[in-house]
Chains A and B, each alone.
Chain A
Amino acid sequence: MDLKLKIWRQSGPDAKGEFKEYPIQDISKDSSFLEMMDVLNEQLVSKGEEPVAFDHDCREGICGMCSLFINGRPHGPDDAITTCQLHMRKFHDGETVTIEPWRAKPFPIIKDLMVDRSAFDEIIQAGGFVSVSTGGVPDANAIPIKKVNADLAMDAAACIGCGACVAACKNASAMLFVSAKVSQFALLPQGRVEAKERVEKMVAKMDDIGFGNCTNTYACEAECPKEISVANIARMNREFFAAKVS
C-alpha cells in the first residue's frame, strides 16, 4: 500500500517544530506501524536525511515505550492496543496519516516524536511503592486476599505507564495512570499500611508537575491500551477523601 505521512519534525526541545510530508510506497498490510516507520527511516538515511526519532523498546505491547498520536488518537486507530501492536491493515491505500508526539506540558518533546515521560517516574517515586524490611522470602499465601480484590489489583497493575491517558485527555490529566498505581496497592493488605500517605503524596506530585485536573471525559479509558477502568479514578478519589478526613 502507498501512504502520505504527515510527521511532526522538531530538532530539539526548544526548537520550533513543523509538519513534514513523506510519501511512502509498497508498505505491506501485514507490517506493524513501527516497521513502517523503520522503512521510512531507512529511506531517509539512504538519502542522507535525518531519520525520524520515535520511542519504542519491547515491540510486544508490554513496556509502554512506544507512543505516537496517529490520526488524532494515541496509539492510532484501534482499541486497547499499543502502537507497536498496530498493523498497517488498519489504514487504507492512499490514506494521509498524521503523526504527532504526545502533547502535554509535563511531557516535553525531546526530538520529533519522542517525549520525556519521566514525570511519571517522579509520581511513582513520590509514593508508588511499598516499603518492606528485607528478610526471608515470605510464604506465598501467608496473607489471605479476597479473589475479587486480587483480580482488581491485577487489572490496575496492568498499566504500563505509556501516557496515552494523558495524551488523549483534553486536560492532559494523569488521573488514570496515578489511580491505577494507587489502586494496585490500595486493594491489597500489603499496600494498605502506607495507603494514606501514598495517595496524598502521589496526587500532590501529579498536581505539582502540572498535569491537568480530571473532568471525567473518560477519554483516558477509551484510549488506554490496557483498558484500565475509570473506576480506579473513583477509588483514588475515595482514598484521597478518606486520607484527608482521617
Chain B
Amino acid sequence: MSNLLSLSSVAKKIWMSLMGLFLFTFLLVHLSLNLTMITSPDSGLFNEAAHFMGTNPFIQVFQWVLFAGFIVHIILGLILQVQNWMARPNAYKKKASSEQSFFSKYMIHTAVVIFVFLIIHFLNFFLVAKGLIGEIGEVTIDGVTMEDMAGLVFDLFANPAYVVFYIIALLFLGFHLDHGIQSAFQSLGLNHPKYTPCIKNAGRLLAIVITLGYVLIPLVIYFTK
C-alpha cells in the first residue's frame, strides 16, 4: 500500500493503464463465454465452459491474478483521484468544458457504479458458484455432473429489477471504457499522428460492442427463457 502511495504520477498511470487493458481483455473473454448462454440451444455449452473455468487449475490460479489486477487498478484510481481533488482545493465558480474526451470528466463516478456492480455481481454468481452462499442446482452433461450456472443466471434475470440494474451498470462500464481504452494507449506513450485517431475510434467501437454484447444477455434471457 505504501509502495503504491509513493509511485510517481506517471508510474501510477502506466500501472493503471496496464491493469485497465488487462481487465479489458478479461471482459472480452468473459463476454464470449457468456454469449454461449443465449446462443447454444439449452445452454449446455455455457455450463460446460463454466465447469471448465471452475475446475481448471490454470484458471484457478489466473483468477487470483485477475483479482489482483482489479485491486491494483482500484487502489491506484482512488489515490490518483484524491490527489487530483487536493490539487485544486478552491473550485472555479464558473467553468467551461474544455475536456476533449467527454467521459474523462466522470471516470471516478462511472468507476463507483462499476465497483458497486462488481460486489453485487459477486454475490449473485461467483460466491454462489463457489458454494459459499445460496444454492445452485446441478445438471449432468455427457455423464459429468456439474453446477447449473445457466439455471442460476436464468433465475436471476427472471426478475426485471435485476435486468434493469445490470443494464444500467453495464452502460456505465461502457462509459468508463469509452474514455479508458484510448486513454490507456496515451498513458503508455502510444501516441502517433496517424494511428491515434484510429485508436480513439476503435476504442469507442469496442466500448459499444462490449456493452451491447453484455446488455443482450439479461434482455434475451428475460424475454425468451
Q: Is B104 an interface residue (CB 8 A)?
A: yes
Q: Is the Cβ of A234 less than 8 Å from the Cβ of B191?
A: yes
Within 8 A of A (CB), among B79-109: 80, 83-84, 86-96, 98-101, 104-105, 107
Residues 50-92 of B at the A interface (beta carbon under 8 Å) = 80, 83-84, 86-92
A203 at the interface (CB under 8 A from B): yes
A168 on interface, CB distance cutoff 8 Å? yes
| B-contact bits for A166-209, CB 8 A (1 contact / 0 none) | 00101111010000000000000000000000000001101100
Binds B, one of A39-47, A49-57, A127-135, A216-224: A216-224
Q: A171-B87, A203-B8, A231-B193 are in contact. Are A100 and B105 (CB under 8 A)?
A: no
The answer to whether A230 and B186 touch across the interface, beta carbons within 8 angstroms, is yes
Given contacts A100-B94, A231-B191, A237-B14, contact A105 B186 (CB under 8 A): no
Chain B residues positioned under 8 Å from A212 (CB to CB) = 9, 83-84, 86-88
List residues of chain A with CB within 8 A of the CB of B190: 234
* Interface residues in A142-178 (C-beta closer than 8 Å to B): 168, 170-173, 175
Name which residue of chain A comes closest to B182, CB basis. A216
In whole Å, how far is A199's beta carbon from the nearest beta carbon of chain B?
9
Q: Is the CB of A241 within 8 A of B186?
A: no
Do A170 and B105 have beta carbons less than 8 Å apart? yes
Among B94, B95, B189, which residue has its beta carbon within 8 angstroms of that of A237?
A: B189
What separation, in Å, do the CA atoms of A211 and B9 have in the docked complex?
9
- Chain B residues with Cβ under 8 A from A237's Cβ? 10, 13-14, 186-189
Query: Contacts A103-B88, A234-B186, A237-B14; is A217 near B99 (CB within 8 Å)?
Result: yes
Contact check, B93 vs A215: say whether CB atoms are below 8 A apart: no
A207 touches B9 (CB 8 A): yes
- Residues of B whose CB lies within 8 Å of any CB of A are 8-14, 80, 83-84, 86-96, 98-101, 104-105, 107, 179, 182-183, 186-193, 196
| Nearest 7 A/B pairs, CB to CB | A72-B96, A234-B191, A238-B189, A212-B87, A218-B100, A219-B98, A171-B84
